[in-house]
Structure 1
Amino acid sequence: MAQPTLTVDLGALVTNWTNLSRSASRAEPGAVVKADGYGLGVDQVAPALAHAGARTFFVATAEEGAELRGLLGEGPRICVFNGHMAGDAPLISQGKLAPMLNSVDQMVTHLEALPGHPFGIQLDTGMNRLGMEPAEWQAVREIALAQSPVLIMSHLACADDPRHEMNARQLSAFREMTDGIDAPRSLSATGGTLMGPDFHFDVTRPGIGVYGGLPFFDALPVAHLEVPVIQVRDVAPGETVGYGNTWEATRPSRIATIAAGYADGIHRIMAENAFVYAGETRCKIVGRISMDLIGVDVTDAREEPASVEMLGNHQSIDTVATAAGTIGYEILTSLGGRFTRRYTGG
């Protein structure tokens, strides 16, 4: 079968979530499952996390929230980061979702359309992306708190770098805006969770670390991508491989053509810096990554491989992301629809 296999280890996923939860033991551990469970399949990821004990889930849109409600049933709370957008009222109401209101306008929309329906508030503590700024919050704070919001949250801009001075600035701003309120608070996703109890508050929102990514250095790999070899050929010194003649053999080489490409989320730009593994042997990608095919130098492999590992125990999503000049989030959420998907450990 010339189709790559993406194996998602739900046991590793749950272990990562559990370990992040233990690092913030005084806070309730939520779970971020937006973007189809970071590309790994929310229909598998979310039930596994719910079974492990997650009771608060976070998605980006009301549409994602409605789908998640269908998967999880009545019990868990589902918070929508993008808040209450125009036309969302039926989804929010029927899905029993909690929009995280990001502006005075969203608050007015929500209270008029769905009076008495649960909501949360997102505050801007310096990221300048989503959330009420201090003056807006001051203007509606008493009205909002009188409605008993389910959560007051903000988001850290630089939590992947614990030493960045922005973290302390945002923590101070969040405390200034929320200290003394009678509502649960949340500031930290994965990075903030790892920075210690000052950042934990009442609810944490682990995301990328659950799926095996940085800044959770101790994360177990969750995504394992195995790509079949279609053909192996001998290439003599001076011969080239792939479009544009960008790679030329300098020794007698064995070149495997593998069945994946940029149509599958293997970014074309990473070719110059990327490797795969044939067994325990690290093998260089050679030539350009094309839509469906990639060349790999397997000359030094102990035996001719039937497949190679693109993601898994030998290299993480962040290793591959570095080769592409991007981040692990983009690697995960770009993984293509042509893969055969298998789930283990759930």
Structure 2
Amino acid sequence: MSTAPRTTAAADWRALGANVRLVVTDPALLDSCDLLLARHLAEVDATCSRFRTDSELAALDDAAGRPVRVSPLLAEALAVALRAAETTDGAVDPTVGSAMDAVGYDRDFTLVREDDRPVRLRVRRAPGRRQVRLDRETGTVAVPAGVRLDLGATAKAWAADKAAAMLAEAAGCGVLVSLGGDTAVAGEPPAGGCQIRVQDVTGPVDETPAQGPYATVGLHSGGLATSGTGARNWRRGGHALHHIVDPRTGLPVRSPWRTVSVAAATCADANAASTAALVKGADAEPWLARLGLPARLVTQDGTVVTTPGWPAPAASDLEAAA
């Protein structure tokens, strides 16, 4: 790998209800890569959105258990979601769609915060991944009546992985794609890796987050994801709610962690692990260490805990935390 400095160029916009950031190591290719990324994300939205009545995913709601032929893109997204459920022992599960609706997250988040309708909270375990029958050979999926899927815990990270790999191959340069903080890197990175700032987000997703202690990570390949309860939260009828649902209860998780960041071979794996860590609570740190995943966990009072492999803080990080 070359150690010569590389010039980079970046573009920032919004898609899939999240902030999008694209970085390429060849500035001349930024516009063409940006166009390809926009097309890719539009396809992902039309395929995987829970909030669009015309999406492929929404069409499964009316299938009543009958096998439905789906596009290769949705089949791949579902396979990633089911694998995440398997590897996290069900802490991340795609069958929480009805639970997400029940707590009020039934539309784009900018609209959720404006809705003041009361919600009725009740404990109800998610149906579970085994209720979803995906046949990759025939390209069909069957979902029982009453089971609604939500790919929010995996789709953005998977889309970032897929986009970074596609753009790096097409452009022949280093590429970083970040979707709402789910970050994937492909191709030859800049010297020292792509510098990613990992920080608690304590404000609404469409506003500038509050500043606080952070870590800077040089990512050369794979992915890095951060999950937390500080940005996508709202109140309904006196209830403080957020978007991380515990599949065991169908309710927003109560966790000792407010933010978890994980690095892994893919962004999809990193995001599944960071979300699962919030659900696993006190068991998260040993679970991540056992899997060999470098992670940074922040407790509700701001204490930072890291697992083996997470880089030591740089001087600037220490100054920010002081």
Report TM bin, short chain. under 0.3
Structure with greater contact order relative to length (CA < 8 Å, sep ≥ 6) = 1
What is the TM-score of this pair, normalised by structure 2?
Answer: 0.26
Q: Which has the larger radius of gyration?
A: 1
